[in-house]
Amino acid sequence: MEANHRYNYYSLSIAIVFVACLLISRVIYALFLSPYSHVPGPRICKVTRLWVDLHDIFLRRNQQIYKWHEKYGPVVLIAPGEVSVSSAASTKIVYRAGTQHPKSSFFDNFTMYGERTIFTALGCVDHRAMRKSTFSFYQPTTVYSDSVMGPLRQRVHLFVDELNNSAHAESTVGADIFKLTNSYAFDNITSLVYGPSHTSQSLESVKEKQTILEDWAECEVWNNLLYTFPLAHKFMKFAITRLQNPQFLHAEEKLFEWNMERLDSTIQNISTATGLSLVGRLLKDKKGGEVPRKTFLAAECLDNIHAAQTTVSLSLTYAIWLLAVHRSWQREVRNELQNLPMEDDGMPCFDAIKNAPILEACLRESLRTKPLSSGRAERIVPETHLYDDVMIPAGTIISTSTIAIQHNPSVFQNPHFYDPGRWLRADEDELRAMESHYIPFGYGARICLGKAFAVAEIKLLLACLLLNFDIHENEQSSTNATSMSQLGTENALPRGLRCDVLFRRLQKA
């Protein structure tokens, strides 16, 4: 019996020593012998990716990577085989057209209905082939046409009418601008995707208890866990659904069903979509008479809705909130707009609004200080190459930290301070440097296709709001600098998932 105990003790000791040797060998290899041992970054990130994954699931990945860039420089190893860059030079190498940096498998998380869309196409050749149909559709010549801008201006006035109706006899109304702009952006993009006859009406029914957008943001908050530890996400969702809330994290599934129903309706009445919608364009551009698969059409529609809705909603939310905080700039923009010639609907024409320099400066500064996305635009290094004098092996995952590049102190003095004036007083060289470090809509061949339409949505609504209301912080609400700090979600949502501000009617002259 004693011999057996002695044997078990020795066996356990040998096993412990063996495991310890393996771990020590792994650490020594990672720190001193691996192809990434020379890349700047935290030592723990050279050994395991669990450290960055933990920051990811706790929604602080973006901010932590920015801190690492502040400490280690423009190239940082954030996990074995994965680096982040923050310089304009490296960003140009990674994302410019012709550099052949394919997307990483991270984008597999965004496939829908079993289909790859333009956004989820990994290879550069595949992406070029797929984007031909939608590229021309989203050009300014299309989206700035009367058939698109007319309905958009109507929804802008509907938005203002919603605020006026909420105010009743009072001159001041409080509103969650994050919720309202979600509805506004959703209605705009569904009109463009399916056609005006098949658009959603969420802005008009925003007061209803249940809308298709209600739980969308909550799903995104939990998506980091889904992407990083999918089994843990599945178990958590199952447990909460069964024990507490049957509707927990089902918003995406509802949207999938709604999208397919809306697509069916559009196809059945295609005459109302052709030439005015993305669906009509995709059907019109079918190759060799081959009708695109319905699942592909559904995936492309929903992909466009996802991208456009979040981009516009976040842009407007932060632009409005920052103008409410920095009221001197709000007055500057309003004065600029009031001096523009007005159309019959009481607003300047879009060309005048689009080219208003102070409005443009305020929007740029908002998008710079509050980036729209996580910056996780991962690419694969095609061949071993120098990035900011650091040799990065082929096959490495590489991406630019949006926060880090847009807060570069050598380019943006006092980078965390909201100062639209920096864009107005910069000389030619300074402006060129700032623009090379400003990537709110992406960079290069895969820049956001819907940028022109998004700019129209954002600037038209901002102009109409500022011409009708004086916007203030709502000090009685929970909205403050902390609640408006950004989560490390894919679309950099505000921490509080709402933004309460006050709108006071301006006295008409």
pLDDT at 205 over 80: no
Which SS3 state, helix, strand or coil, does residue 437 take?
coil
Is beta strand 82-85 parallel, antiparallel or unpaired with respect to 397-400? parallel
What is residue 126's predicted lDDT score, i.e. its pLDDT? 79
Q: Domains, the chain, ranges and CATH? A: 114-377+409-505 (1.10.630.10)
Q: What pLDDT is recorded for position 509?
A: 60
CA distance 32 to 24: 12
The two three-digit tokens of residue 470, written as one number:
């004086």
| Residue 212 pLDDT greater than 80, yes or no | no
Residue type, 203: L
* Distant-in-sequence contacts of 296-299, Cβ < 8 A, 24+ apart: 296/113, 296/115, 296/117, 297/263, 297/267, 298/112, 298/113, 298/115, 298/259, 298/260, 298/263, 299/111, 299/112, 299/113, 299/115, 299/116, 299/117
DSSP assignments along 473-492, one per residue? E-TTSS-STTTTSBPSSTT-
Return the pLDDT at 19: 80
Please report how the helices 327-338 and 294-325 are oriented relative to each other, as an axis angle in degrees rounded to 10.
Answer: 110
pLDDT band at 206 (very low <50, low <70, confident <90, very high): low
Indicate the range of 6-15, 50-59, 254-263, 441-450 predicted with least confidence: 6-15
Closest residue by Cα to residue 347 from 500, 127, 155, 61? 155
3-state secondary structure 26-74: HHHHHHHHCCCCCCCCCHHHHHCCHHHHHHHHCCCHHHHHHHHHHHHCC
- Give per-residue pLDDT as tens, 351-376: 999 999 999 999 999 999 999 887 78
Alpha carbon separation from 325 to 474, 484, 485 (Å, rounded): 10, 12, 14
Reported residue count of the chain is 509
**The pLDDT of residue 211 is above 80:** no
H helices present in 229-347, as ranges: 230-243, 251-268, 278-284, 294-325, 327-338
Tens digits of residue pLDDT in 491-508: 999 999 999 999 999 877
The answer to the question of whether 499 is labelled as a binding residue is no
Percentage above 70 pLDDT, the chain: 94
Q: Is residue 453's pLDDT more than 70?
A: yes
Of 410, 508, 473, give the one whose Cα is nearest residue 177: 473
Cα distance between residue 54 and residue 58, in whole Å: 6
Kindly tell me if the per-residue pLDDT of 196 is higher than 90: no
Computed over every residue of the chain, the mean pLDDT equals 90
Maximum CA pair distance of the chain? 101
Q: Does the structure show a pLDDT above 50 at 234?
A: yes
101-119: per-residue pLDDT in tens?
Answer: 999 999 999 999 999 988 8
Give the per-residue pLDDT at 462.
98
Give the residue-averaged pLDDT of 22-47: 90
**What CA–CA distance (Å, rounded) separates 503 from 469?**
6
Q: Which residues, 6+ apart, have CB-to-CB distance to 95 below 8 Å?
A: 101, 377, 379, 400, 442, 443, 444, 445, 446
Mean local confidence (pLDDT), 209-237? 85
Copy the structure tokens of residue 73: 């420089």
CA gap 489, 487 in Å, rounded: 5
DSSP letters of 242-271?
HHT-TTTT-HHHHHHHHHHHHHHHHHHTGG
Residues 433 and 476: their CA atoms lie apart, in Å, by 41
Q: Residue 383: exposed, middle, or buried by beta-carbon count in 10 A (0-12, 13-18, 19+)? A: exposed
CB count within 10 Å of CB 432 equals 10
Q: Residues of 294-322 as b/e, b for ≥16 C-beta within 10 angstroms? A: eebbbbbbbbbbbbbbbbbbbbbbbbbbb
What's residue 209's pLDDT?
Answer: 39
